[in-house]
Structure 1
Amino acid sequence: MNWKVERTTKNVLVVSFGFLLLFTAFGGLQSIQSSLNSDQGLGLASLSVIYAALILSSMFLPPVMIKYLGCKWTIVISMCCYVAFSIGNFYPSWYTLIPTAIILGTGGAPLWSAKCAYLTICGYQYAKKFNKIGENIVNHYFGIFFLVFQSSAVWGNLLSSLIFQYSSGKANITDEILAYCGPNNCPQYDEKVSQNVTSVHHSIAVIHTLSAIYTGVGVGGVLLVAFFLDQLDKKEIEDFKGKDVNIWAVLVATFTHLRDKRQCLLIVMTMYSGFEQGFLAGDYTKAYVTCTIGIQFVGYVMICFGASNSIFSVTFGKLSKYTGRIPLFAFATITNLASIIALFLWNPRPEQMPVFFVFPSLWGMADAIWQTQTNALYGVLFLSDKEAAFANYRLWESVGFVTAFAYANFLCIKVKLIILVIVLLLGMIMYGIVEYIEFVQHGSESPHTVSQILRGEHLKTKKQKPDELEEEAKEETETTDVKSVDENDAET
């Protein structure tokens, strides 16, 4: 028994640390991509291609790979797709980054689907063998995974900043360059800014060093999973996923789900999640941080975002039990609006160093709400159709990412900030309509918290008329009488 427990724990830890290594590499590269490969917008274009490929692959690839390769080897092969992107950064060009971005995006959907399936199967297996509640074990396993995984943002960004800090010369940031930073940054000024701030100060040797380290870390994650993760039996996977994998049924269900007006109303808010993350990773790092204080500070700035995001994800997750989701969404909206307005008015200068770290910290706090509460909202509203609902969530968030990275090379920062405000306000108005619909149908925010779902309280929120309550009471009385008769018969 102890051996079984240790074996299960070992597999969860192997998956967790494998992802930690892989996303230490990818997360670090993603944060500096817009600054590192700013020529002709190559970095942002590659990020846009990644999420576009991710959208396409998520529609058909995960169930096929899991069925024929199993969860373990789907994870291993998909991780290799991520490593390919790190290799492409050795000699960044349109002929290396775009193809490897397509490869990465193609492997992204199977990677996450296989990881979720593996941890879920392990959780229910353990619960079945030791007479535990399956959902509790699965939640525990995912908690372990994200506890380890979330720290990848810290390590990946720390690596890039340390390498640039000790390998690059001091950036020659003049008042002329500062005039093009922050809200005044536009694509037509990129060449002038990059000549003094980015390209000159990281030589080919530095780029090779950075790419080699990230590639090595990613390969380490692949080898860890390949050699130490146990393969699940095909029967176990079939029992979990079903023996017949109908790609078209999955695809049709995703779009059929759009018939639900609540899903349509949530599209804009879901896309905003991709917009706001895309702005921070692609635009804030380039136009505010790199342009003003240099690329060596990008990693440190993004560490603040990652740390804030992790801390407040846990904090707001617990707080939601007492406040419900509406006050949290309102707080995230106010935080983002205030930050956007401040970014619109702020002309950054090197001597204002602390301010560069304040904005990503606030952004991470708001993003913690967007991520946790939007996921919970989908699970609450579409309890009987979770698969199609979460497929839509991933689809529209990815569309937000693709759109944000795609127009980044053509619009000025002020225009992007205005777009963020419009999408945010429109999304919250439409979300408000969803809450109104739920209020009319159930009489309150339905359900209030995730814990209420687990207790089944979401089934008790619907308003009932007095005659309905009376009829329900009669049914309960009749059921009790029948049970009593059955018990008497059994005793006889």
Structure 2
Amino acid sequence: MADDGYNNITFVMSERETEETPQSNGTPVVNLSTEKYVPVSKGRLIKNLIVICFGFLFLFTTFQALANLQSTLNSEEGVGVASQSVIYGALILSSMFLPSFLIKKFGCKRTIVLAILCYVPFITANFYPHWGTLIPGGFILGLGAAPLWSAKCTYLNEIGIKYAEIVHTAEDTIIVRFFGIFFMFFQSSQVWGNLISYYVLRPENETSFQVNSQDFNSLLCGSNFCNQIESELFKQPEDWKVYMLIGIYLASALCGAILTGLFLDPLERESVYFEKKLTGVRLLLATLKHLKNPRQLLLIPLTVYSGLEQAFFLSDYTKAYIACSWGIHRIGFVLICFGVVNAVFSLLSGPLVKIFTRLPIFITGTLANLGVTITLLYWQPNPDQTVVLLVLAGVWGLGDAIWQTQINALYGVLFKSDEEATFSNYRLWESIGFSMAFAYSTYLCIDIKIYILLGFLATGMLGYLIIDIRMMCYYKGTFSIDR
């Protein structure tokens, strides 16, 4: 999501003093021009950073782990992956119309709390997963997702600016540090959510779920998987275990809303800035106009790939490789490896770019995903080679960390003067990648999906290399970067 920069926003502390001036009807009103604010301390800013980090940790411990299970836990008629496609379709609409409006009306804090609550219907729908519950729940979640991330970006940006003023450090340095801390917490949610699902869903006698490697040759897993259900390993956990899991996840999401609602300090006067923000049709037109920029066109395949690769891992890797060869209950166990590597490299990506520049980091991400993808195409999952599932998940986490941090940063570097249309395009094309992958998930075999991934990765990196070469020529004075 866009890490937009917002200025001139002031913290309001509960201890603030105000002068009241009477209206003609005797009703006192606050005179903002004489408002006295308690100075913001470093400790208070750090407290707000910790609160928002833990609020998102509680929420996405639930959502990300639940998303990982949709293709297997709710596999009947493909309703699980269909709900994921609806989520990202709704997110596209929401990105155009809701974030600025809600933040202007309610402020960042209330927007974050309300948006977290938008996740609750989808989580609750998993108690009774059908088209009439998961699809509406997914749509509501998608509507809340864009305001949630926009408000989060605004809030972190502002506390970073305030902290930089206090410690007399460059704003960019502090903001990057705060976002790095946030994404470390955010990515670690994969660990906790998947750990919960593993321990709740695992059977009492795991040996009964083992498949003999000789018998396994008859099962069509891996790249040959075409949504057939032929293994005992696809056997659904007992209902009471599923209900317990969803109950834990629901409680975790509600804890996130309560934590931010009670302990996050509000920001005042966001509306002063957001009056200038584009919304609705104006933002849509600006987004479409931005497509005239050749650099934006070159970035589209890589941005779509960012959505495709995440959706493939959540929907297809979990089902065709982990569940098919090792059991549904072990999906969470394997994805812990993905979450740990993703969290570590999300934190390290910023410093690594400063040391090595962006091009080697992008090439590393490409080689990581390319190596895993080709392995998935030719390697046949086997119950005796489960360590390979862990290694592949970890390497995929490395690549995903690079795409999530560096593509976003690249947009900010290339299009500094047109933030709104820029990050609207980023959200649009990444969400299209998600929606595409989830939409065709139940209709295509794994090998076809892998070829689609390889095609978008190759095209996307070609576009990025063209941009990088043009930038180098620009800085050497050869030609204009906008040509």
Q: 1:123-202 counterparts in 2 under 5 A? A: 123-128=160-165, 133-166=170-203, 170-171=208-209, 173=211, 175=215, 179-187=219-227, 189-190=228-229, 192-193=230-231, 196-198=232-234, 200-202=235-237
Preserved CA contact (<8 Å) 1:178 1:348: no
TM-score calculated relative to the size of structure 2: 0.85
Aligned pairs, number: 439
Shift of 1:140: 3.4
Q: Which moved more, 1:300-309 or 1:316-325?
A: 316-325
- Whether 1:58 and 2:95 are equivalent positions in the alignment is yes
Residue of structure 1 equivalent to 2:292: 259
Preserved CA contact (<8 Å) 2:53 2:186: yes
**What SS is found at the alignment partner of 2:87?**
helix
AA matched with 1:185: F
Residue of structure 2 equivalent to 1:40: 77
**What SS is found at the alignment partner of 1:259?**
coil
Residue of structure 1 equivalent to 2:350: 317
Cα distance in structure 2, aligned partners of 1:316 and 1:126? 22
Residue of structure 1 equivalent to 2:111: 74
Q: 1:80-479 counterparts in 2 under 5 A? A: 80-128=117-165, 133-166=170-203, 170-171=208-209, 173=211, 175=215, 179-187=219-227, 189-190=228-229, 192-193=230-231, 196-198=232-234, 200-233=235-268, 235=269, 237-242=270-275, 246-443=279-476, 462=477
Task: Mark the CA change 1:330 to 1:43 in structure 2 (over 3 Å): closer, same or farther.
Answer: same
Cα distance in structure 2, aligned partners of 1:64 and 1:372? 27
Cα distance in structure 1, aligned partners of 2:166 and 2:177? 16
Task: Mark the CA change 1:384 to 1:293 in structure 2 (over 3 Å): closer, same or farther.
Answer: same
Shift of 1:103: 0.7
Cα distance in structure 1, aligned partners of 2:174 and 2:451? 44
Preserved CA contact (<8 Å) 2:104 2:275: no
Shift of 1:123: 2.9
Shift of 1:248: 3.0
Task: Mark the CA change 1:264 to 1:20 in structure 2 (over 3 Å): closer, same or farther.
Answer: same
Residue of structure 1 equivalent to 2:23: none
The match for 1:5 among 23, 42, 51 is 42
AA matched with 1:35: T
AA matched with 2:145: G
Aligned-residue CA RMSD (Å): 2.2
Shift of 1:125: 3.7
Shift of 1:463: 5.5
- 1:453-482, Cα deviation, whole Å (9 max, x unpaired): xxxxxxxxx469xxxxxxxxxxxxxxxxxx
- 1:221-259, Cα deviation, whole Å (9 max, x unpaired): 1111111122222x2x13443466643332222221111
Task: Mark the CA change 1:173 to 1:38 in structure 2 (over 3 Å): closer, same or farther.
Answer: farther
Shift of 1:149: 2.2
Residue of structure 2 equivalent to 1:483: none
- 1:2-35, Cα deviation, whole Å (9 max, x unpaired): 9733222222211111111000011110111111
AA matched with 1:441: Y
Preserved CA contact (<8 Å) 2:216 2:382: no
Task: Mark the CA change 1:246 to 1:37 in structure 2 (over 3 Å): closer, same or farther.
Answer: closer
Residue of structure 2 equivalent to 1:453: none
Cα distance in structure 2, aligned partners of 1:107 and 1:433? 36
Shift of 1:172: 6.5
Task: Mark the CA change 1:9 to 1:327 in structure 2 (over 3 Å): closer, same or farther.
Answer: closer
Shift of 1:176: 6.1
Q: Indicate the percent of aligned positions where both proteins have the same amino acid.
A: 46
Residue of structure 2 equivalent to 1:475: none
Higher relative contact order (CA 8 A, sep 6+): 2
Preserved CA contact (<8 Å) 1:47 1:405: yes
Shift of 1:91: 0.9
The match for 1:26 among 63, 69, 72 is 63
Preserved CA contact (<8 Å) 1:24 1:217: yes
Cα distance in structure 1, aligned partners of 2:372 and 2:133? 36
Preserved CA contact (<8 Å) 1:58 1:109: yes
Shift of 1:173: 4.2
Preserved CA contact (<8 Å) 2:183 2:346: no
Preserved CA contact (<8 Å) 1:171 1:201: no
Preserved CA contact (<8 Å) 1:56 1:106: yes
Cα distance in structure 2, aligned partners of 1:146 and 1:436? 30
Cα distance in structure 1, aligned partners of 2:40 and 2:294? 50
Preserved CA contact (<8 Å) 1:89 1:97: yes
- 1:146-205, Cα deviation, whole Å (9 max, x unpaired): 232221111001000111114686436473685211111103x13x34xx223x441221
AA matched with 2:341: S
Task: Mark the CA change 1:69 to 1:424 in structure 2 (over 3 Å): closer, same or farther.
Answer: same
Cα distance in structure 2, aligned partners of 1:335 and 1:420? 13
- 1:309-340, Cα deviation, whole Å (9 max, x unpaired): 12223344323223322222223222222221
**What SS is found at the alignment partner of 2:467?**
helix
Task: Mark the CA change 1:247 to 1:282 in structure 2 (over 3 Å): closer, same or farther.
Answer: same
Preserved CA contact (<8 Å) 2:190 2:336: yes
Higher helix proportion (structure 1 or 2)? 1
Preserved CA contact (<8 Å) 2:103 2:111: yes
Task: Mark the CA change 1:312 to 1:137 in structure 2 (over 3 Å): closer, same or farther.
Answer: closer
Preserved CA contact (<8 Å) 1:312 1:365: yes
AA matched with 1:171: F
Shift of 1:433: 2.1
Higher radius of gyration, 1 or 2: 1
